[in-house]
Amino acid sequence: MNKVWKSGSAGLLLSAMLVVSACSSNGNEAGSASPSASPSAPSAGETGSVAPSAAPLKGKINLVMWHQPTIDAVNAEIENYKKLHSEVDIEIIFSAFDQYYTTIQTQLIGGGAPVGIGVSPETTQMLAKYLEPLTPYFEEENPYTKQPWKQDYVANAFEIGKSGTNDVWMVGVAGAVNTGVWYNKKMLDEAGVAVPTTWEELMAAQKTIKDSGQIAWSEQLVANFKGDWYNWQLNYGFNLDDWMKLDTLVPDGRVSQMEVVRGIKTGEIDLKSEKVKAMFAEWKKWVEAGWPENFSSDWGWYDAFVSGKAAFFLGGSWDTPGFVQNIKDFEYGHFSLPNPGNPSDPIDMANLGGAWGLNKGATPEQKAIFIDFMRFLSQPDVHKRVVEAQGMLPVVQGVELSDPVMNAWAQDAKFNVSKIQAISLDNELASKFLSYSQAFLTGGDLDGFVDKYASIYQEAAERLITQNKWDTTQW
Amino acid sequence: MQSTRGFSADGLLRKLAKSGKGYLLILPTFALILVFSYYPFLQALHKSFFHWDGQSTSFAGLDNYKRMFTGDAELGKAARNQIVITVVSILKIVTVPLLVARLMFALTSGWATRTYRIMLLLPMTVPWIVMGYVWKNMYAPKGVFNTLLAQLGLDSWAHNWLGDPSMALGSVLFIGFPWAGGIAFLIYLAGFQGIDSSLLESARLDGAGFWRRFLAIELPLVQTQTRILLVLTVLDSLKSYGFLIFLTNGGPAYATLSPGVWIYQNSFVFLRFGYASAIGVVLLLVSALLSWLMIRLTKRGDLHD
């Protein structure tokens, strides 16, 4: 018997997993409600400025999210919401960011995924076939604000929720500036460098600091992989599309997924162009210059910045509360990361820092509750409480933050739609990109990496064509 | 001799009639094995000829197998890593545990033997996930290794052990150092204890020294144990992907990717269940082939045969 088990080996193990997967029911086919079925009309008013719904909502929904502060903030509002809808229950489930999308994707396939799925604009395309397009819902009136729901939102923040497509896939819960560089004023002064305003100045500053024996960057060593930090830099620092779309026709001022795919397919976007090579070469130069000579346990995560050992920290607006609380010994500030490709256009990656998509497989009743609760969250006073509780920025119009630092970030947040990646790589291609970039940044050659990069995006384009059934004959 | 090995329907029926109850009693077990082991494997074999993402299925013919051998550079990298992992695992299993078991065999004090044995076997009771967690923390940027090096003034030796492609696989293989205890030690110790003491005594009287006795008598006599361990180690190294997923998920830069991890990623991360099944099927064949090869190679010099 032992022999039988042993000879089964990995194949049997896999087979068992596959059978389990196959046996899971696919709840995504159940009950797809049309937006018009959504009974989110108000009922007689009781609490504050809120207009309660006419058709009583009943049932329970669950929402999944990886960001604990968002969960805490929204949980507080759930209690307020339940005062209006006593027969509704909303549960928020935490799922760790590590493997989040793998977990959710598996749940969506298996039919056991929550009703509300925490998503980001960059990764929504990956889940799009499991999510309900929210565009029609946004055209309806929000019973709580008495205007079309869409108008509750900052226009560009709303557009970002389309993730490069024509449909809205998510409801923004909070915003964030993702490309803020924090600096230690004291260290810059001691090194004799001014706060950088251009890419060249930033590179020169980090070199001066490093040459003086100091640590330039407080590294973000997530899961021990240097590559994580590198890709963070690439995605939010260099902003791939800034380079990719240079040769692309972009209709109505925003990145169109189909146009970018068409550009790749027809060769209008040259993925191996000198511009692309220059981008990756600059990226590597930055990483090598920023990376200390010897590994030190002193520069992990943002500890090094908070403790005053590192001059810069590439983070975002969400770091503000933590820094305000923990940094007492030196003066610090932030600036938007300069754009290495276009000095006159600083990188502005204000983005949706928290958002929920709707599971297509939810029942009509669940969808109705989800939409109604999201509309409830879109009220300016509610939204203000939610974003302030987690140190995030507003995506709803007419919200003035109490904290001046956060308010300054909010002024900086342009929610530049054209900076959103038109093509989000799926799990497989993202994993390949990460792995090959790790190899490139730790000794691999540029041309080899650019070849890989091009093949990854060509494959991504092909997949999107197949997935969307685009007719490419006219291209 | 040959006739007894050849198939004969009459012979089979006679055997069944003779040991009918025995076959009947083993039937439920065999049925369960069929359902839970062979059926899933056949399912995987079937799925390997399809494109299947968990939702939609389409016939792929031999595409998945073709992709394995012509269009998957990552699998090639995984295969190369697997060779390293298997060779090092074999070396780990046939060196230190063998020597430690031999040293233990030489102990004459019952108390000392018991104490050492418990100390060497106790780590076996620790779940692998706990051990993985402990080592992952030790390898962390602020973990034991780097802190120790810093305290010794050897900062320049500090590394991002699991995050550096040039260090990651070595760091993973180093886990469990000094690899003295565990099942290998136990099997070897049982092997040494099973050696007829008169054989060793005769050799001693004939003037054979420690190394001569060890190499010429003891080592050949524990060859059966070595064979079992080789087969188990090869199978384990091919199958064990959970540890790698937990520690590095095959990264960085595919430095620790193994076929097992690639199967997991293709099935549950990339949702290419058909392709993952195809790799699983080939991995099963490779496992079977290597097991057979190990048995053949070690059988040649086995004194018991």
**Residue B89 and residue A202: Cα distance in Å, rounded?**
48
- For residue A134, which of A353, A380, A375, A349 has the smallest C-alpha distance? A375
Looking at the structure, tell me whether residues A238 and A279 fall in a common domain.
Answer: yes
Residues A209 and A284 in one domain: yes
Which of A399, A417, A435 terminates a domain? The answer is A417
> Which residues, 6+ apart, have CB-to-CB distance to B119 below 8 Å?
B181
What are the chain A neighbours of B37 within 8 Å (beta carbons)?
Answer: 4-5, 8, 12
Cβ–Cβ contact B25 with A under 8 A: no
Count of domains in chain A?
3
> Alpha helices of A24-112 — where are they, by DSSP H?
68-84, 100-110
Which of B29, B30, B37, B164 to mutate against chain A (most A CBs within 10 Å)?
Answer: B37
Considering the domain architecture, whether residues A73 and A118 belong to the same structural domain is answered as: yes
* B304 within a domain of the structure (yes/no): no
Count of structural domains within chain B:
1
Q: Is B166 on the interface with A (CB under 8 A)?
A: yes
A224–chain B nearest CA distance, Å = 5
- A278 and A243 co-located in one domain: yes
Domain extent for A70: 46-176+351-417
CB A191 within 8 A of CB A182: no
Picking from B37, B139, B252, the nearest residue to A438 by CB comes out as B252
Contacts of A434 in chain B (CB under 8 A): 251
**Domain membership flag for residue B141:** yes
The conformation of residue A412, written as its DSSP 8-state character, comes to H
How many helices and strands in chain A, by DSSP H and E? 19, 11
Q: Are A65 and A163 in the same domain?
A: yes
Instruction: Enter the DSSP assignment of B97.
Output: H
Name the more confident of B64 and B108. Answer: B64
Backbone angles phi, psi at A389, to 5 degrees: -65, -25
CA distance to partner chain B, nearest, from residue A225 (Å): 4
Report B:254-283 residues touching A (Cβ under 8 A): 254, 259-260, 263, 265-273, 276-277, 280-281, 283
Give me the count of residues in chain A.
Answer: 475
Q: Are the Cβ atoms of B238 and A435 closer than 8 angstroms?
A: no
| Chain B residues near residue A296 by CB distance under 8 angstroms | 150, 155, 158
Q: Within this chain, do residues A307 and A446 fall inside the same structural domain, yes or no? A: no
Residues A168, A107 share a domain? yes
Q: What is the CATH number of the domain that holds B121?
A: 1.10.3720.10
Give pLDDT tens digits for B193-239. Answer: 999 989 988 988 988 888 899 999 999 999 889 988 998 999 889 88
Whether A2 maps to a domain, the answer reads no
| H or E stretch at A94 | strand A88-94
On whether residue A205 sits in a domain, the answer given is: yes
Residue A26 lies in a domain: no
Domain co-membership, A139 together with A163 = yes
**Residues A121 and A61 occupy one common structural domain:** yes
Closest partner residue to B284 (CB to CB) among A1, A10, A26 is: A10
Which position has the higher pLDDT, B129 or A229?
Answer: B129
The C-alpha atoms of residue B93 and residue B134 are separated, in whole angstroms, by 22
Q: Is residue B145 part of a domain?
A: yes
* CATH code for the domain in which residue A89 is found: 3.40.190.10
Residue A41 lies in a domain: no
**How near does any CA of chain B get to the CA of A226, in Å?**
6
In a domain, A5, yes or no: no
Nearest to A1 among B29, B40, B54 (CB): B29
Inter-residue contact A259 to A250 (CB < 8 Å): yes
CB pair distance less than 8 Å for A224 and B166: no
Of A210-224, A317-331, B81-95, B134-148, give the lowest mean pLDDT range: A210-224
The shortest C-alpha distance from A136 to chain B (Å) reads: 26
Per-residue pLDDT tens digits for A222-255: 444 555 556 666 666 666 666 655 444 344 445 6
Domain boundary among A348, A373, A388: A348
Cβ-based contacts of B29 with chain A (< 8 Å) = 1
Residue type, B259: P
For residue A315, the cross-strand partners are A180
| pLDDT score for A348 | 64
ipTM of the complex: 0.77
Q: Domain ends where: A331, A348, A365?
A: A348
Contacts of A16 in chain B (CB under 8 A): 36, 40
Asked whether residue A9 is assigned to any structural domain, the reply reads no
Give the pLDDT confidence of B232-260 residue by residue, as tens digits: 999 889 888 889 998 888 988 899 999 99
Residues A257 and A211 in one domain: yes
**Is residue A23 a part of any domain in this protein?**
no
Give the span between the Cα atoms of B76 and B83, in whole angstroms.
11
Under 8 Å between Cβ of A305 and A182: yes
A308 touches chain B (CB under 8 A): no
Is the CB of B44 less than 8 angstroms away from the CB of A15? yes
Cα gap B284→A4, rounded to integer Å: 12
Find chain A residues with C-beta within 8 A of B238's C-beta. 9-10
CA dist A248 and A119 (Å) reads 27
Residue B21 lies in a domain: no
Residue B259's closest chain A neighbor by CA? Answer: A10
B222 Cβ partners below 8 Å, 6+ apart?
B98, B188, B191, B192, B195
Which residues constitute the domain of residue B135? 63-299
B223 in Cβ contact with B301 (< 8 Å): yes
Residue A396 β-bridge partners: A153
Task: Find chain A residues with C-beta within 8 A of B167's C-beta.
Answer: none
Q: Flag whether B15 is in a domain.
A: no
Q: Give the model confidence (pLDDT) of B46-77 as tens digits.
A: 999 999 887 788 999 999 999 999 989 999 99
Backbone angles phi, psi at B57, to 5 degrees: -130, 140
Q: Indicate if A75 and A141 belong to the same structural domain.
A: yes
User: pLDDT digit of tens for each residue in chain A (475 aa)?
Assistant: 333 333 333 333 333 333 333 333 333 333 334 343 333 333 333 333 344 455 689 999 999 998 888 888 899 999 999 999 999 999 999 998 777 888 888 888 888 899 999 998 877 777 888 899 999 999 999 999 999 999 999 988 898 888 878 889 999 999 988 777 899 999 999 999 999 988 889 989 988 998 888 888 886 554 445 555 566 666 666 666 666 554 443 444 456 778 888 888 988 888 898 888 888 888 888 877 776 655 555 555 677 888 888 898 888 888 887 888 889 899 998 887 887 766 666 666 678 888 999 999 999 999 999 999 999 999 999 999 999 888 889 999 999 888 887 887 787 777 777 666 677 788 888 888 888 888 888 888 999 999 999 999 999 999 989 888 899 998 8
Q: Which residues of B touch A360 (CB under 8 A)?
A: none
Contact between B42 and B34 under an 8 Å Cβ cutoff? The reply is no
Is A65 part of any domain?
Answer: yes
